[in-house]
Structure 1
Amino acid sequence: MSSGRTLEGAGCITWWGFGPARDLLETRRSQTPRPQGELNVLLVGSSDPRHILKTISGLKDTDTLHVWVMENSMEVVARQLLLLYVSLSSPESMGMQEKTDVFLELFGNSEIRSQTDDKLKHMAARLFLAVTDTMDADTDTDTHIHPCLDTSFLKFKERDELARIFKQWQRPPSPPLGMCKAWDARVRQHLGTRYDARRGCFDWDLTMKLHDKGCGVIHKQEYIRWRESGVAFEMREGLYCIANQSLLSTRVFSRRGDKVGVRGYWGDIVSSPYLSFGIETDYKELLKTQNNQHVKTAQDISVANVETLFKSLSTRGGHTHVSELTKDSFDHTAETHLSCQLEEERVCTVDQEETVKLDNKQHAEEKQKHQIELMNLPGVSVSFLSLDSLPKLPMKSRFCRLFNAIYCSASMVHHLDSSLKQTAAPGAVLTVELARYLLDLSKEQEASFATRVSEIAKEAGFVPARTEDNDAYAVFTLQKD
């Protein structure tokens, strides 16, 4: 994939994918039957949890799924954890409509409501606590963020970085970043001399590119609103005026020989977050047209699709909660530890003893409160791998012929090579995101990228499956030996 100003509109960090959610185990386009039983899926640069949620929704009750996630930035990993946290929120802690609204606001809005910002800070505090626990204790289910979410495969320095990011979401640096100015600066840089005619540019990108590629459901009003301000979803009345901290990152620039980190919005400003959940749906009534205009908007479809995915999670979770640590068992452990400490040191005062007990009790209550907020999905787990672990997977026996499905984004496809075959299970499906919705590319560049993807897949031992000409993904299956 070419870099530089050619893809300035796509940004240097990928906050959302450039294609709709896919069930990565669904093989309706090939002759291979859908795998069942114990399933493993590898995601390389998926950027958001759309494929995870969609794949879970297609599982049978008897299936188990282990998703392995690899991203090229810890900011993206942090955001993945945040969106999965929202997705796993129990009905008792957050109603379906509220959960959908919060998810889409955090997912696609540069600025959010104060209520959503409060929830972001609350969840960031929970995630901070969970990540620091994995660094302070041996790895087990009690120190994971959640039985479904596992960060123990990350390096300590990566978990330190995660903790720093979550802390920054709770307490943003002062003075607060003006998201409006940051967004407008990106638009000015991207359009250059065309900035004064930006509405015409936005309309051209929508009608001559997105609509031409089959995204007619994206309405002009919502697309131009997003291109102008970065706010894609306005489900509720209110002021969308607080910077969405989960969409901020640091970009390093060279100035007079020195490297300077600038915090701002460095993601997509052209293609839109509507692509992930808002351009396809199984509910055909949402795609009805009247006078050659779609009746429903991309926001309407996004809401319907996300709600459907969340209902699927609730069904699998049975509205059950994560098993809690009981207060008595925790206090017993704390007291045992404390008595041993007193026996060895014999220097603790009564005040220190009471302080330790109080701290342990508060920590237990925090962990208990954190766990009861989330649903448990039996047989489903998501593990995050280190950023540099992809070339090392073929050398580890646990990953040998493990993955039933492998997904790779357009921005990460250059990391794939022939060693990928060693990690693929027999009949594995490889799905690669194409450049179809990278609007800054020409048709020739888009076609050239698709050709290169096919070459990489062939070198890795995969052959093309049946695909549609207008699909956002290229699908391959592992060639039989």
Structure 2
Amino acid sequence: MTTPAGSGTGFGSVSWWGLSPAVDLQAEGPPVDPDSQAENPELNVLLLGSVDGRHLLRTLARAALWPRRRFHFYVLENNLEAVARHILIFSLALEDPEKMGLQERSETFLEVWGNALLRPPVAAFVRAQAGRLAHLVPEPDRLAEQLPWLSLGALKFRERDALEAVFRFWAGGEKGPEAFPMSRLWDSRLRQYLGSRYDARHGVSDWDLHMKLHDRGARVIHTREFRRWRDTGVAFELRDSSAYHVPNRTLASGRLLSHRGERVAARGYWGDIATGPFVAFGIEADDETLLRTSNGQPVKTAGEITEHNVAELFREMAAWGHPRAAEGDPEQVQGGAEGSPEPAPVLEPFTVHFLPLDSAHTLHHKSCYKGQFQLLYVACGMVHLLSPELGACVAPRGRLIVELAQFLVDLRQEQLHAFSRRVGELAQAAGFAPQLGGKPSDTFARFYKAGDSAPGHEDQAVESGTPPPEVLAPPLEATDWPSEDRTQPLEPGTPPSEPLKLTSESQASLLEASVPPTGSQAPKSENQNVPPETKSPIPDL
């Protein structure tokens, strides 16, 4: 059966990469209070569903352009696999330059982040890092010593145990490609999504690219690279195509299914097969020459722009933590040769705090979070969590930035407009007002804490008005799912499963509410048959 346009099923139920370009969160937040007496003022940011850490990396890379501040990033995701990918990506970005050069780090990041299949050397790196992290997670003292920027103290004990299980699966607890047959899972998902259009999949991908993504501002995505990703899941082909054959286990997630009255744990790929990872780093660039056109065609592809942007990002991050030099001392600013200086040993310049998966509705109950955040970022798949209680956690003069669904190819224009209207209503109910003036944006909606003087600009992408019946964000009271039905990471030994077409009873489902989910959420009940590969029922994870 062909998937109807507008259903949103191409995005899947688990998000592995963002649907908006990386932004500098310091530029989005309020300026430093001039009356502040702190030598290094803090910037506290709460991010709901940022997924891949791109905004955090961009913020750290651009920090040298701003007065020195200490960053506290509070990250809330819907699944622990996304938390694990955050940790792996940051470990890679902060890898010692003497152990791993800039080009190797950049290429490894691109493959781990956006490719379904890896080269053997990259897969070996993932296994080694995952094994190391699996030993560090249960030992807080060693974790604080080796990864001082990471804080897992807010996670529940069972979440930390499940996070360790994710790393152990990545480390190769189950040997061989059959532990996670990515190529077969990708093709099965594609067949399910396209239905009778599968044999014309190249025409479908060309239509989605030229008539949707290009029209919405992603013209640099080339037909060849988009078609290759749709067919194989390989977005960034940095070597010969034959080199990519090892499944990327970091894209695996689990579901709890119902099979003959029993609960069964199944592992598969339920991520994006429609848009791709090109938007986050591949459609904008600080170097305008990368966006030039010749005879009406871009001279660079999204893959090439992504490679350049990520390399520049990691180059700028290499000097992170180096004490700011006095103005006019370029040698001190640059820190010397190609290798980067070591981070300051006494004061770590930033901390990433991971919050419990289901804590969005309870943060305001804790005094340490009430009025704590100068900036709140909400991904398009987490808009339903925007509430007055969450707004109470934002400080006076605080800002709100919401990712819109501009690059979801399954959504029609009227659904995109309805989503923008609904975002405006939820933000207003949470105590925010649109920023005034400025350049209109179809990618982000920006607000400030109501009651403050209007600082900044109003985003014309957010319109007022009553949303239509197919409102894109579900009611707030319908978003508190039972914790026992939430997707949990699978222990090693669980057989893989082909991705199934699951019908969620939750109002947060894309099929019913058209909100692209960011996390892995298990339906309350499933009646589909489990494929033969899933043989061992697991009554409780």
Matches within 5 A, 1:117-156: 117-134=123-140, 143=144, 146-156=147-157
**8 Å Cα contact 1:417/1:460 also seen in 2:** yes
Greater Cα offset, 244-253 or 290-299: 244-253
Task: Give the deviation of 1:8 after TM superposition.
Answer: 1.4
1:7 is displaced (CA, Å) by 1.8
- Aligned-residue sequence identity (percent) comes to 42
Matches for 1:247-326 after TM superposition, within 5 Å: 247-318=251-322
Which amino acid in 2 is paired with 1:210?
L
User: Structure 1 residues 165, 144: closer, same or farther in 2, change over 3 A?
Assistant: farther
Is residue 176 of structure 1 aligned with residue 146 of structure 2?
A: no
SS of structure 2 residue aligned to 1:42: strand
Q: Is the 8 A contact 1:127 1:145 kept in 2?
A: no
Where in structure 2 are the equivalents of 1:445-460 lying within 5 Å? 445-460=415-430
1:20 corresponding residue in structure 2: 21
More helix by share: 1
Q: Which runs of 4+ in 1 moved over 6 A?
A: none
Aligned match for 1:417, one of 384, 387, 392: 387
Paired position in structure 2 for 1:98: 104
| Unmatched tracts of structure 2, length 5 or more | 34-39, 324-341, 453-541
Deviates more, 1:91-100 or 1:309-318: 309-318
Do 1:104 and 1:233's aligned partners in 2 also have CA atoms closer than 8 Å? yes
How many Å separate the matches in 1 of 2:129 and 2:78?
A: 23
Match of 1:477 among 448, 471, 480: 448
1:372-410 deviations in Å (ceiling 9; x for gaps): xx9568321111011122222111111121111111111
State how many pairs are aligned: 418
Q: Is the 8 A contact 2:50 2:379 kept in 1?
A: yes
Structure 2 counterpart of 1:222, one-letter code: E
Name the SS for the 2:256 alignment partner. strand
The secondary structure found in structure 2 opposite 1:253 is strand
Aligned with 2:212 (options 209, 214, 228) = 209
Q: What is the TM-score when the length of structure 1 is the normalising length?
A: 0.82
| CA distance in 1: counterparts of 2:12 and 2:74, whole angstroms | 25
Q: Is the 8 A contact 2:137 2:143 kept in 1?
A: no
Seen in structure 2, the aligned counterparts of structure 1 residues 467 and 270 have a Cα distance that, compared at 3 Å, is farther
Mapped to 2, the partners of 1:468 and 1:179 lie a distance apart of 42
Task: State the Cα distance separating 1:476 from its structure 2 match.
Answer: 0.7
Quote the Cα distance in structure 2 between the aligned partners of 1:261 and 1:7: 24
RMSD over aligned CA atoms reads 2.3
2:166 is equivalent to residue 185 of structure 1: no
Post-superposition offset of 1:291:
1.2
CA distance in 2, matches of 1:415, 1:9: 22
Residue 236 of structure 1 deviates from its aligned partner by: 2.9
CA distance, structure 2, for counterparts of residue 423 and residue 211 of structure 1: 38
- Alignment partner of 2:139: what SS? helix
- Does the 8 Å contact 1:110/1:243 carry over to 2? yes
Instruction: Indicate conservation of the 8 Å contact 1:278/1:298, yes or no.
Output: yes
Aligned residue in 2 for 1:360: none
Does residue 429 (structure 1) correspond to residue 399 (structure 2)? The answer is yes
Q: Which moved more, 1:55-64 or 1:14-23?
A: 55-64
Question: 1:435: how far off?
Answer: 1.1
Distance in 1 (alpha carbons) for counterparts of 2:433 and 2:32: 17
Question: Structure 1 residues 450 and 467, CA, compared in 2 at 3 Å: closer, same or farther?
Answer: farther
**CA gap 1:251/1:224 in 2 versus in 1, 3 angstroms:** same
Q: Note the C-alpha offset of 1:73.
A: 0.3
Return the offset for 1:470: 4.4
1:467 to partner: Cα distance: 5.8
Q: Aligned-pair distance for 1:37?
A: 2.1
1:144 and 1:447 map into 2 onto residues whose CA distance is: 48
Q: Quick one: structure 1 residues 438 and 145, their matched pair in 2 at CA, closer, same or farther if it must change by over 3 Å?
A: farther
2: CA distance, partners of 1:172 / 1:200:
40
Tell me the amino acid that sits aligned with residue 431 of structure 2.
G
Deviation at 1:77, TM superposition (A): 0.6
Structure 1 position 255, deviation (Å): 3.5
Partner of 1:163: 164
